[in-house]
Chains A and B, each alone.
Chain A
Amino acid sequence: MSAGPVVRPTRATVVGGLLGGAATSAGIALTATSGWLIVRASERPVILTLLAAIVAVRAFGMARPFFRYLERVVSHDAALADLAERRSSVYAALVPLTPARLGRRSRSQVLTGVVDDLTDVVEAQVRVTVPVLSSAVAGLLATALTAWFAPAVGLVVAALLLVLALGCLLAWRVESRSRDELLAARAETARIGDLVARQAGELRAIGAQDAALGWLDDAHAALRVAVRRQSRGRAGVAALILLATAAATVSAAVLVDPSAVGAPVAALLVLVPVAVGEALAPLVDTMRALARAQGSSARLDALLDQEPAVHDPDHPDPGPGVGPQHGPHVRLEGASASWTGAADQLAPTDLDLVPGRHVAVVGPNGSGKSTLLALLARTLDVSGGRHTVDGTDVRARPLAEVRSDVAVVDDEPHVFATTLAENLRLARPGADDAAVRHALGLAGLGTWADALPDGLATRLGTGGRGLSGGERTRLGVARAVLADRPVVLLDEPAAHLDHPTATAVLDDVLDATRDRSVVLVSHRAEALHRLDAVLDLGDRPASPTTKE
């Protein structure tokens, strides 16, 4: 993914650029030949001598939309092919990095960001390569044509092209410099918008409406400054191009000698710089796409160039191979862990998870609750101490095998845009409808599912039926139940739910997972009395205090 320029011409984009060049050239030629035709006509020649010019005018008039159409078809098809190829390769590269290398919060935002960044990079292939090449082709043709009639005017057109290139460079610098500032300002306004949409009630409860609007005003003020700075550069470039066109046209008018080239050609030579200026000015806009793509590409590279947090062992130990009848015995002994490799987010911790035991993990934010779950889910390795399953160090066993014992339910289970049944079945392909219904029932979604218009075939997710927070959490639980894995990890499953819903959901979860090992990370005290042990990470040295 990394190294090399962000925009690399491919065969398809070059063909697109050449076709675009033909279209742009036809546009310039249309203006030039029309001017020639009018002036020649005013000399009142025999009409027949004008026929060639009339045909040329018509041909150029038709060639422009024709070539433009071809260019757009070719370049868009190329972009979509490129997108298809890059999407699967970026996705494949992300799989081993998921979830530990996607950041510790709002992973779905990180992943949505990847989708957007990828789109920017792919769009730039078409939105930069094609117009740059088209403009170069048309500009050089115009220069050659004018130079053939009058070398001095050819020089003028060449100078105009140079100024245009300079304008592009300037625009690119402005866009690059303001890009990060603008992005940050836009992200901040989006953050406040998101915050108020989700927390309006809480803000009203404490009379903080004005404070929230104040944050919004601050964010908008920062956005204003960033946009103003960016627009100053763009405005300068737009003015520069018009001034250069004026200078070029006047120079051409002064330099051209009608007695040498004839009046019609003289008109043509005066009109070409105007036509070039008008046809190529939009080129400056492509620099925005380029600057954006460079930022996006840098972000993608930074994300994808990471080392996976966990690896398959070179010589996997198949493990004791005991059947799953009693579930694995998971132990942490003085286990510490770190997401970044720098400071530990989990201080040395002991945990003895005998099959069927239910353990709650509590502690302040930042005490390592999620880090502990990441260890148990085998998405993170210990940085110190031991993590064993049935006495074997987990690092000696194949990743997929250790993971297949564990089901994770987090606070924001993703609902795929497919049917309810398929949303569950991803946890255990081949599960029949009865098993799916059973899992839904245990997760407290039985009556809800029965009431759905299409039952298990009801489409959920984007474009389908929306789910409330409680229903979503229960869907995650139902997946874990259906997966039938002996260890269930619950990462604040009720964090976003109101109190009565949270209590009800937690009750159902603990009922549904009665015969499995459970580790429940929770901020709440409500359900803790139903667990066998509580591990308080805020209360060091960490070791579970068994109740009674």
Chain B
Amino acid sequence: MRPFDPRVLAVAPAARRPVALLAAVGVAQGAATIGTAFALAALVVAVVEGAGLGGPVAWLTGLLVVRAGLGWMSERVAAWAGVEVTAALRTVLLRRWLDAPAEQRPDPDRGATLSAQGVAAIEPYAARFLPALVAGAVVPVLAVAALVWVDWLSALVVVLTLPLLPLFAALIGAATRDETEKRWAALSSLAGHFVDVMRGLPTLVGYGRAERQVEVITDVSHRHRRATMRTLRLAFMSSAALELLASISVAIVAVTVGLRLTHGTVTLQTGLLAILLAPEAYWPIRRVGAEFHNAADGAEAVAAVLADVTTDPAPPARGPSSPSGPDELGAAARAVTYAYPGAPDPVLHGVDLEAGPGLTVVTGPSGVGKSTLLELLAGLRTPSSGEVVAGRAHLVTQRPFLPAGTLRDALRLGTDAPDAALWEALRRVGLEGFVAGLPEALGTRLGDDGVGLSAGQRARVALARATLSSTPVLLVDEPTAHLDAESSTLVADLLRDLAERRTVVAVTHRPELVRVADQHVVLTRAGAEVHP
């Protein structure tokens, strides 16, 4: 895990500007902070010596006003950077998943966790940790540089003690690493227990096992408390040790300055500056450590996203929008073999299929890989061997995706067709009357907070959407599975009609489609054969 991986900026160019501005504001803030120390020292000297306050007051006020402005900007820019970095990384991640064939996408649960909670953790990382990192890199350098100029002896003390901070941190870390790792493993399982029991609560209630968990939760929570406190004590102790180290270093500066002042070898101005500047060299470094602790989740998520988006797809991805032959009118599979990732045996073995304009119907026993074949033709999967050559395709799956929203949203998905076209499409699948009878017609919401569609209605909405698409190839998986005889005939006629101008490949187990097909392909374990 790195504090900041510059690949973020290469992968997510939208994050460059806010991050650059963040760094610039951070540098300016550092400079203003150092300036404030000078003005404050001058002010104290003026007060003590009874000199005119005008100059120092003006300087201090001016600098603090500038710092107020920078503080204002820094909050704004940090928030902006937080959103932009998060948004850019999430967009890159989702774009990749939308472009990648199934084999190159992560498991849905893992993917969902990464894109939702994982990426969200990047926001505080960018908004809080990155500014701290900039300050940690800039302010100590400026402070030491100023000290060298003001009082080289104090600078020497700081330069000699400053490296002790990371050294000390590393030593403490090394000494406690094994112990800490052992505890973290135990800790995360204790910490996860409550979430696990909570998520399983419906199951526990269902089997009458919920009540007895109350005691278990109390017990595990207290064990978690004891284990956490052991770990935390160590962490707090090491952070206290670092603070003590910084305090002692500043005290050394103060005492040497004090002694030299009593001998008159330095001026009051110099002495004050030295004790005001010295702490500025230490605290930003300690803050980086503290903020990194809070931002660790975000840094981990950044690493996970980068790992996902920078893996080179082994064979270049071929999406339905960028197929091997975009202007291809047909769809062909040549000696295609396909095995699911992790599966020992291929589901398809040496399948040949040549579909040109017209209606091709594919039948075959359950589990023989008919749906998988359609997904291969659509470019949603990449063959393990052999090749697929197909034009842009629209695939109506068995569980077509309908978004949360109105019926209009569902139909326009992927095409943005006007209402007139939507009505025409609904007419062709025999849903015109049903939709016209809905309270808000095309504007009716679907799903839990709206009207419920039966499986057959969902299938027909998906078919209506398919008629709106302009792809040369149309692939349909079991289009009549949920339909009664009358609707099935309607759908058969519709597919027949669409096949006049497009390549239509339909998987079915029903005879009415086979009867109207131009080509009938039977898929078996051995391969595909064309029936006359």
Interface residues of A (CB under 8 A from B): 30, 34-35, 37-39, 41-42, 44-45, 47, 50, 54, 57-58, 61-62, 64-66, 68-69, 72-73, 76-77, 80-81, 83-85, 87-88, 91-92, 94-95, 98-99, 102, 104-105, 107-108, 111-112, 114-115, 186, 189-194, 196-213, 216-217, 220, 223-224, 227-228, 230-232, 234-236, 238-243, 245-246, 249-250, 253-254, 256, 258-259, 263, 266-267, 270-271, 274, 363-367, 377, 400, 403-404, 407-408, 410, 413-414, 416-417, 426-429, 461-463, 466, 479, 483, 498-500, 503-504, 523-525, 538
Bits for B113-131, please: 1 = Cβ < 8 Å to A, else 0.
0111101100000000000
**Number of residues of chain B lying within 8 A (CB) of chain A:** 151
Asked whether, in the complex, the Cβ of A363 is within 8 Å of the Cβ of B48, the reply is no
Answer whether residue B149 sits at the interface, using C-beta atoms and an 8 A cutoff.
Answer: no
Would B413 and A208 count as touching, CB distance under 8 A? yes
- The answer to whether B257 and A213 have CB atoms under 8 Å apart is no
The answer to whether B229 touches A426 (Cβ under 8 A) is no
Chain A residues with CB below 8 A from B222, complex form? 81, 84
Is there an interface contact between A202 and B400, defined as CB atoms closer than 8 Å? yes
CA distance A429 to B189 in the complex (A): 23
Instruction: Give the docked Cα–Cα distance between A232 and B46 (Å).
Output: 37
**B401 & A84 in contact (Cβ 8 Å cutoff):** no
* A366-B452, A407-B206, A414-B200 given; A196·B192 CB < 8 A: no
| A249:B201 contact, CB within 8 angstroms | no
Is the CB–CB distance between A365 and B453 below 8 Å?
yes
Task: Decide if B194 is an interface residue (CB 8 Å cutoff).
Answer: yes
CB-CB under 8 A from B218, the residues of chain A are: 84-85, 87-88
CB < 8 Å neighbour of A91 from B197, B236, B321, B398 = B197
Cα A15 to Cα B366 with chains together (Å)? 70
What A residues does B205 contact at CB under 8 A?
95, 98-99
| Closest residue of A by beta carbon distance from B36 | A274
Complex: A451 Cα to B48 Cα, angstroms: 84
Can you identify 25 A-B contacts, CB atoms within 8 angstroms?
A30-B247, A37-B258, A41-B261, A58-B251, A61-B244, A62-B247, A88-B218, A91-B198, A98-B201, A114-B198, A190-B116, A200-B98, A205-B320, A216-B90, A216-B94, A223-B83, A227-B79, A231-B78, A232-B76, A238-B75, A239-B71, A416-B196, A416-B197, A428-B207, A500-B367
B residues near A189, Cβ cutoff 8 Å:
87, 90, 120
Give the Cβ gap from B69 to chain A, nearest Cβ, in Å. Answer: 7
- Extra 13 A-B pairs, beta carbons < 8 Å, given A193-B94, A196-B97, A223-B87: A35-B275, A44-B264, A50-B258, A107-B202, A204-B380, A205-B375, A206-B462, A207-B469, A227-B79, A231-B79, A365-B453, A407-B206, A414-B199
- Could you tell me if A193 and B112 are in contact, using CB atoms closer than 8 angstroms? yes
Of the candidates B195, B236, B448, the one whose C-beta lies within 8 Å of that of A105 is B448
Q: Which residues on the B side are within 8 Å of A77 (C-beta)?
A: 225, 229
Which A residues touch B200, using CB under 8 A? Answer: 414, 416
B98 touches A193 (CB 8 A): no
**Contact status of A270 and B47, CB under 8 A, knowing A80-B229, A87-B217, A207-B321:** yes
Q: Given A39-B48, A197-B111, A413-B203, A111 and B395 touching (CB < 8 A)?
A: no
Report B386 CB to chain A, min CB distance, Å.
Answer: 21
A204 touches B98 (CB 8 A): yes
Whether A417 contacts B196 in the complex (CB less than 8 A), given A77-B225, A258-B47, comes out as yes
Which A residues are in CB contact (< 8 Å) with B366? 499-500, 503
CB distance from A196 to the nearest CB of B (A): 5
**B48 near A364 (CB under 8 angstroms)?**
no
Closest CB pairs A-B (n = 6): A193-B115, A365-B452, A84-B221, A366-B452, A231-B79, A197-B111
Q: Is B67 an interface residue (CB 8 A)?
A: yes
B481 adjacent to chain A (CB < 8 Å): yes
**Which of chain B's residues has its CB closest to A208's CB?**
B414
Given A39-B44, A235-B76, A426 and B209 contact (CB-CB distance below 8 Å)? yes
- Taking the closest CB of chain B, its distance from the CB of A24, in whole angstroms, is 13
Assuming the A-B contacts A197-B108, A246-B65, are A98 and B43 also in contact, with contact meaning beta carbons closer than 8 angstroms in the complex?
Answer: no
Chain B, Cβ-Cβ closest to A84: B221
B60-82 interface code vs A (CB 8 A; 1 in, 0 out): 11001101110111111011101
Among the listed A38, A202, A204, A410, which residue makes an inter-chain contact with B275, where contact means beta carbons less than 8 Å apart? A38
> Which residues of the partner chain B approach A193 to less than 8 Å between Cβ atoms?
90, 93-94, 112, 115-116, 119
Q: From the candidates B67, B259, B414, B451, name the one contacting A242 in the complex (CB within 8 A).
A: B67
CA distance A102 to B272 in the complex (A): 63
Docked complex Cα distance between A207 and B99 (Å) = 10
- Provide the bound-state CA to CA distance between A49 and B168, in Å: 35
CB-contact partner of A102 in B56, B202, B379, B462, under 8 A: B202
Q: Would you call B236 and A72 a contact (CB within 8 A)?
A: yes
Whether, in the assembled complex, B210 has its beta carbon less than 8 Å from a beta carbon of chain A, the answer is yes
Bound Cα distance from A197 to B398, whole angstroms: 19
**Cβ A483 vs Cβ B57 within 8 A:** no
Docked Cα-Cα span, A202 to B398, in Å, equals 10
Inter-subunit contact A538/B210 (CB<8 Å): no
Which residues of A are found within 8 Å of B378, using beta-carbon distances? 204-205
A140 to B250, alpha carbons, bound, how many Å? 26
